[in-house]
Amino acid sequence: MKRLLPTLAALLTASSVAAQTTLKVSGDITLTQVSPHTWVHTSVANLDGFAGVSSNGLVVISEGEALLLDTPANDAQTETLVRFIADSLHARVTRFVPNHWHADCMGGLGWLQSQGVDSYANRMTIEEALKHGKPVPGHGFGKSVKLRTGKVAVICRYEGGGHTPDNTVAWIPSEKVLFGGCLVKDAQATWIGNTADADMEAWPGTIERLKRRYKDATVVVPGHGPWGGTELLDNTLRLVQNATDR
């Protein structure tokens, strides 16, 4: 019987991930498991004059620790999410990294800082936060930073401009999960979205680098919309090229 227990546990984990177990955090926040140690948090909020915008972030959990990639759009939703992670998933958020400086990535940074959570960001993101009077991440990095949550390594890397000049991605090698954030569009998207702060010239080359470096990704999570595989990168490249050809 004892020999069967590890196999049974592995099967239960695999089946829950395959079924993408979704937990309801609140009326406007959900958590969906996409690999053994990673969950997508999806929140709905009003953004830049648009009502009911759905945004994604990632939570990496291992050995009672959690790393948060992007917050919901505001402090209240961020608090709700973090407390749920502690109470229901038994993990304490200790580190945070935003994809870029917009509110749908770091709108809850102020609350995280009030709780003593360490925050890291690309140096350009820190510059933008200062320029726009937003809470400022505590630690800056250049090309990349490797963080560890429990036994799981997370590599946050700047691959080039796109949705914004400062946008980064996060790669979890052991999970083969790529969090592209708003740099990446979902596979069903038919337009490139908000380009007010975009670097349209750099965007195609940045996506090409993602396609080469993360070709083994099994899950690619965009900033908005459904996640999937590397077909999201293919669609993003098409949309960017169409937008720049006009």
Supply the pLDDT for residue 229. 98
Task: Identify the pLDDT of residue 18.
Answer: 43
Q: Find tokens 């050809």 and name the residue.
A: 245
Share of the chain above pLDDT 70, in %: 92
| Phi and psi at residue 147, to the nearest 5° | -115, 155
Collapsing DSSP to helix, strand or coil, 88 comes out as helix
Looking at domain 21-245, its CATH superfamily turns out to be: Ribonuclease Z/Hydroxyacylglutathione hydrolase-like (3.60.15.10)
Of 28, 75, 176, 194, the active-site residue reads: 194
- Residue 78: the pLDDT is 98
CB-based contacts of 104: which residues, under 8 Å, 6+ apart?
45, 47, 53, 55, 70, 72, 73, 182, 223, 224
Per annotation, catalytic residue among 74, 163, 167, 235 = 163
| Higher pLDDT among residues 168 and 245, named by residue | 168
Torsion-angle region of 133 (φ positive above 0: left; ψ -120 to 50: alpha; else: beta): left
37 assigned to active site: no
Query: Active site residue: 102, 134, 166, 186, which one?
Result: 102
Show me where the domains of the chain are located.
21-245
Is residue 105 part of the annotated active site? The answer reads no
Q: Which two tokens stand for residue 62?
A: 């291992």
Mean pLDDT computed over every residue of the chain: 92
Say whether pLDDT at 90 is over 70: yes
Would you call 163 a catalytic residue per the annotation?
yes
Nearest to 26 by CA among 78, 91, 69: 78
